[in-house]
Amino acid sequence: MSRPFAFYEFFAGGGMARLGLGRDWNCLFANDFDALKAATYRANFGGDHLHHGDVWAIDPGELPGRADLAWASSPCQDVSLAGARAGLGGARSSAFWGFWRLIEALDDQGRAPRVLVLENVAGLLSSAGGADFAAIGQAFAARGYGFGAVELDASTFLPQSRARAFVIATREPPLGLVSATPGPDATAAVRRAFEALPQPLRRHWLWWRLAAPRARNTTLADALEPDEAVAWRSAAQTTALLGQMSQLHRERLRLAAASGERITAPVYRRVRGAAPDKVQRAELRLDGLAGCLRTPGGGSSRQLLVIVDHGRTRSRLMTAREGARLMGLGEDYRLPAGATAAWRVIGDGVAVPVVRHLAEQILKPLMAGQAVIAAAEQGPTISGRTRLAASA
């Protein structure tokens, strides 16, 4: 099948960005440092184009052809709001500069991608007081890219709360995809990120336009396995979990259960307070959404579920397949064996429908406009008026 657009996928993980881009996109090259994630990628997509290793060790000559798009889901721990906020100088998030080194080398060879997407936690927009985001913008602008950011939450599409920032950079944005001023889809975090930029850098800013997607019509309960297909924790473990809840959370659960309806409540265990008064709390939500899925080593890790049905209260761990559904992965997606391994892949991924929304709203229209421009440029001459018409 002919695929009109080509892309490189850096920090590919389990290939969720690839799934979101869809069938119109041909992956020329992918990489990931983590052996487990690389194996998962191969299991789902094959490995002929996959480079397993550090992005800093990739030679630009290993990148074939010229891609239309380079997607980079660089490690987020050092810019996460839940992390130590070491910023882009941190040991993991500095991998961005390894990626950028390759883009610069490709540009020197005349084959830099026309469009770049950097995906990360929303904390990227404010990391180091905005200095990290400004450094990214400066790098893009120095190579002739205009750039802007959008913030999207997976909860718009899936029953999981998962806010992420997407920095989209392009050299030739066509008319119709950007606005002169921020639109209603520009979140407060994106606006603050723009306002924190140095004045000269603001000239390179693009206010990307995104149409509102269709309303989500699923809840967390829709993603869960049947009760008889899962392992439940003991009554004593459930009692202990409820005992870790504050009075406020226990009362919320009691009132919800009083309705007589089946209640599905995800629970995270967190350490609250400061030494020497630290205490572990079990915190639940009752809005039909799972909390942000994590890797086994990240934050408060794996979510628990409290189910109240016909006066009976039980608890269990969320399964990896349920987590995969909450990321928009199909039932045929091959997860690693073992819950810990599977959650390492799931918790570090990008929600598939979010990528699909960006592809349909911005990336594919951008590619189509640039294809028109490229065709026009193959002629003997192209005037400014012709270029403007081609980009409209």
**DSSP codes joined into one string, 102-156:** HHHHHHHTT---SEEEEEEEGGGGTGGGGHHHHHHHHHHHHTT-EEEEEEEEGGG
Mark whether 359 and 387 lie in a shared domain: yes
Q: Does one domain contain both 265 and 296?
A: yes
Average pLDDT over residues 57-64: 96
In a domain, 338, yes or no: no
Residue range of the domain that includes 9: 5-216+351-391
Apex 155 CA angle, 154 and 156, nearest 5: 90
The residue among 328, 343, 362 that closes a domain is 328
Tell me whether residue 168 is in a domain. Answer: yes
pLDDT class of 314 with cuts at 50, 70, 90: very high
**At 381, is the pLDDT very low, low, confident or very high (cuts 50, 70, 90)?**
very low
DSSP assignment letter at 15: T
Do 109 and 187 sit in the same domain of this protein?
A: yes
Establish whether the linkage from the previous residue to 276 is cis, with ω within 30° of 0: yes
> 27-53: per-residue pLDDT in tens?
999 999 999 999 999 999 998 999 999
The pLDDT score that the predictor gives to residue 390 is: 29
Residue 348: other Cβ atoms inside 10 A: 22
**Are both 78 and 211 inside the same structural domain?**
yes
DSSP-derived secondary structure for 79-107: T-TTS---GGGSTTTTHHHHHHHHHHHHH
Burial class (CB in 10 A: 0-12, 13-18, 19+), 363: buried
- Pairing of the two strands 5-10 and 25-32: parallel
Kindly state whether residues 27 and 167 are assigned to the same domain.
Answer: yes
Is 207 in the same domain as 262?
no
Q: Note the pLDDT of residue 75.
A: 79
Tell me the DSSP string of 324-371.
Answer: HHHTT--TT--PPSSHHHHHHHHHTS--HHHHHHHIIIIIHHHHHHHH
* Same domain membership, residue 254 and residue 210: no
Residue with more model confidence, 209 or 392: 209
Which pLDDT tens digit goes with each residue over 352-378? 999 999 999 999 999 887 654 455 545
User: Is 336 among the domain residues?
Assistant: no
pTM, entire model: 0.89
Q: How confident is the model at residue 301 (pLDDT cuts 50, 70, 90)?
A: low
Check whether residue 17 and residue 33 sit in a common domain: yes
For the chain, percent of residues with pLDDT exceeding 70:
88
Is residue 337 situated within a structural domain? no
In this prediction, residues 286-301 reach a mean pLDDT of 81
Which of 315, 335, 316 is closest to 324 using CA atoms?
A: 335
Lowest mean pLDDT, pick from 4-8, 89-93, 226-230, 315-319: 89-93
Backbone phi, psi, residue 170, to 5°: -150, 155
Residue 8: DSSP 8-state: E
Classify residue 377: in a domain, yes or no.
yes
CATH number at residue 361: 3.40.50.150
Orientation angle between helical segments 35-45 and 339-347, nearest 10 degrees: 80
Residue 344 lies in a domain: no
Residue 22 near residue 86, CB atoms below 8 Å: no
Cα→Cα distances 52→10, 32, 49, Å: 11, 5, 10
On whether both 10 and 53 belong to a single domain, the answer is: yes
Indicate whether 206 and 228 sit together in one domain: no
Considering just the CA atoms, what is the radius of gyration of the chain in Å?
23
Higher pLDDT, 80 or 70: 70
CA dist 223 and 319 (Å) reads 10
Q: How many domains, in total, are found in the chain?
A: 2
- CB of 90 within 8 A of CB of 77? yes
CB 124 within 8 Å of CB 133:
yes
- Whether the pLDDT of residue 280 is over 50: the answer is yes
Q: Are residues 202 and 232 in the same domain?
A: no
Sign of CA dihedral 21, 22, 25, 28: positive
Element (H, E) at 251: helix 247-257
The band of 388, judged by pLDDT with boundaries at 50, 70 and 90, is: very low
> pLDDT tier at 385 (50, 70, 90 boundaries)?
very low
Q: Which of 24-28, 215-219, 380-384 has the lowest mean pLDDT?
A: 380-384
| 230 and 284 housed in the same domain | yes
Does some domain include residue 108? yes
pLDDT band for 296, please (50, 70, 90 cuts). Answer: confident
